[in-house]
Structure 1
Amino acid sequence: MKLNHNEKLVIDSRMINVSGIGRYINSLIPAFVEFFGEKNLILLGRKDDISKCKWYKESLRVINVGASIYSLKEQLEIPFKMPYCDIFISPHYNFPVLSFRQKKNVVFFPDVNHLAMNQSLSFSKRLYARIMFNLASLRAHSVITISEFSKREIVKYLRIQPKEILIAKCGVDRLIVHSSIKIQLDSPYFLFVGNIKPHKNLYNALLAFELVLNKIDNIKFCIVGKREGFLTGDSSISQLLKDKKKLYENVIFTGYINDKELALFYKEAKALFFPSLYEGFGLPPLEAMSLGCPVLCSNSSSIPEICGEAAIYCDPNSVTDMSQKLIEILSNSEMRERLIMKGYEKVDEYSWDDFNEKVLKHIKSILD
């Protein structure tokens, strides 16, 4: 199916390198090219970033937009540079509210974390999120989200009817372990994949690991990311590691790693520890499962919906419960094997092709 010659799609592509959101942008763009034709697709973003993507072609039209995401400048630059089009697709709530060159708007709300978990945000950031979510909701002809949980949260916090929300669950990137790549860790380890945002619950996770260290020797806590980013981004984590010598000695930061290296860290870990307080979907548990890594995750938000019986769960607000579950998954080999097998089955339920098809059919229905 191709669009008519005068029908155009414009996609804000500036977040292609952002974790989570970048995954579904990178999945959708080549699918849009194949489905609608590259002449009908226009990308907004930095060409230097876009040209590095595997799907990039010189024939794709890219309009350079240098404004930072969630900034006042983007609200001025995008409307000025936006070409006339039939559909504008915004991958998050930072919709260009002053733009009226598009006939219809499709907006992605993967979650409403900025509304539901805003205690750590400044007043100005809370106000910005509230205003932008509501304005995007008013301007959107359709909202797309990625889980049943997020749909319920959107209905709860915003004036959107359930029938106006499409659920398209994300796929899983099948990371490949390359035999040429090695990691220099002599001890078994739990793996943490996330960022320094408070809802990722790293502080409590470290306290739980400290309790594990009181009972089990020769175990590490491996955090994917640069040490400086985690310590300077959250002063409480920096202070915790300064105050707790034993914790300090057994927490490892990987520094920047690519997907090939990440695959091996998943493969070799005793378990992925994913204690997040709030997730619209949560890709790391599924990535871990695809590589035979058992998963311990929190029992909150969308996580049980996504992981089902392929993970064991803990109370993310209870340091004691988290530590007990960490010890259990480490010491119970039968449980580990069961989780590994269930994990392989679970990841088969999630496909980027299915995600793309659902979104594409929805866009087509809006155009018809």
Structure 2
Amino acid sequence: MIRIYINARFLTQTMTGVQRYALELVKEIDQLIDRGEIDGNRYEFCLLSPSNIINEPAFKHIRHKAVGKLKGHLWEQLELPFYAKGGLLINLCNTGPAFNKNQIVTIHDAAVFNYPKAFSFAFRAWYKFLMVRLGKNSKKIITVSNFSKGELIQHCKIAEHKLVVTHLGIDHIHRKKAASGTLEKYGIKSPYVLAVSTMNPYKNFNLIVDVLPELEAHNLNVVIVGSKNSKVFGEQTWVQSDAINWVGYVTDEELKALYEDAAGFIFPSLYEGFGLPPLEAMALGCPVIVSSRASIPEVCGDAVLYFDPQSPQEAASCLIEITSDTELSKQLSYKGRIRSGLFSWNKCAKDTVNIIMNTV
């Protein structure tokens, strides 16, 4: 029996794109075992987590064990390596034991190198050290776009033969049922433009504030979904406006309702390793405008409108265009659904399992 341990520290964290990737990937691997596409008699998968998990996972074939007494980075660096002895360790969320050699790590981007001021000093110092160390010690590094692959080679000096790209999936959004009454719950007035992200400064949400006068002139409101984590991103000052509804963290079902009811979706990010939110919006038929930077064109293709993320005028023009031109809106909605269909968790899982099988 070949043992494969999965670092499940992500079960203790609030859901963002990174945790979404980890959870959906493990779900799909469990399905591959169930369908006999992975030999469950030969390979044993086991999730290892600290005790302070938010939700208990429910899988048919992948066991979960809460181990150790520590939490967070200390658990990951000091206790996880002990419990993962005798097996290959899979780390899915940018971090892992710095000195473990029998492991695979997914590193989603190199943002701490490109936008260091967007992170607190402690966060960026630790991650810069850790990412370089993981790149040297790990057997393989998975990343989520060809753009990120280039970034990791440049900033972390990871050997190209160690790096493999696996794109994320989108089908999780179709498995959820939109929550009724979401707009009423949060006091949202239609028509509105939706934005979804963490409040990291390089996500460039201040651009939305800059385009507000133009949006208000066209009777458009703005809804922003996302958390503000000062421990990670440092203290930020956010402009308050009656036309902006900051709803914070929402459930997946509420998020689906917000995508489906939105007149348009804006993603002004300056830097992404992949960029899941615009793909989620596209999958649900919402017309999308996105920044032309980083991995975003690789993911969105020709199914969106692009704008210079440092040009509020260009962004405003694109938003007005997709919300006022019915024919363009329909065209983008159609193209978005087709484009998003190219990204599945099944393909992501199969690619990842192939990497694992070629490494053990």
Q: Please, what TM-score do these two structures have when normalized by structure 2? A: 0.87
Gaps of 5+ in 2: none
Give how far 1:317 is off: 1.3
> Distance between the aligned counterparts of 2:4 and 2:141, measured in 1?
16
Find the partner of 1:252 among 217, 231, 245.
245
| Partner AA of 1:261 in structure 2 | E
C-alpha distance after superposition, 1:48-88 (max 9, x if no partner): 6376334367x82413256444x345322323x42422311
Aligned to 1:360: 353
Gaps of 5+ in 1: 242-247
Find the partner of 1:27 among 15, 24, 28.
24
Find the residue that maps to 1:313 and give its secondary structure. Answer: strand
What are the within-5 Å matches in structure 2 for residues 92-103 of structure 1?
92-99=93-100
Q: Please, what TM-score do these two structures have when normalized by structure 1? A: 0.85
Give how far 1:234 is off: 4.8
Give how far 1:324 is off: 1.8
Find the residue that maps to 2:301 and give its secondary structure. Answer: helix
- The percentage of counterpart residues that share the same residue type is 28
Shift in CA distance, 66/345, structure 1 to aligned 2, threshold 3 Å:
farther
Give how far 1:294 is off: 0.5
Shift in CA distance, 179/198, structure 1 to aligned 2, threshold 3 Å:
closer
Shift in CA distance, 44/179, structure 1 to aligned 2, threshold 3 Å:
closer
> Distance between the aligned counterparts of 1:283 and 1:306, measured in 2?
9
> Distance between the aligned counterparts of 2:106 and 2:226, measured in 1?
27
Aligned to 1:12: 7
Shift in CA distance, 301/54, structure 1 to aligned 2, threshold 3 Å:
same
Find the partner of 2:284 among 291, 299, 302.
291
Q: RMSD value over aligned CA atoms?
A: 2.6
Q: Is the 8 A contact 2:211 2:315 kept in 1?
A: yes
C-alpha distance after superposition, 1:186-221 (max 9, x if no partner): 4300001111111111112221223332x32x2211
Aligned to 1:207: 210
Please say if 1:191 is aligned against 2:190: no
Q: Is the 8 A contact 2:120 2:234 kept in 1?
A: no
Q: Is the 8 A contact 1:42 1:63 kept in 2?
A: no
Q: Which has the larger radius of gyration?
A: 1
What are the within-5 Å matches in structure 2 for residues 216-365 of structure 1?
216=218, 218-225=219-226, 234-237=235-238, 240-241=239-240, 248-365=241-358
Give how far 1:47 is off: 5.2
Find the residue that maps to 1:327 and give its secondary structure. Answer: helix
C-alpha distance after superposition, 1:159-201 (max 9, x if no partner): 2222221111010023344474452234300001111111111
Find the partner of 1:53 among 57, 60, 64.
57
> Distance between the aligned counterparts of 2:228 and 2:358, measured in 1?
47
Give how far 1:331 is off: 1.8
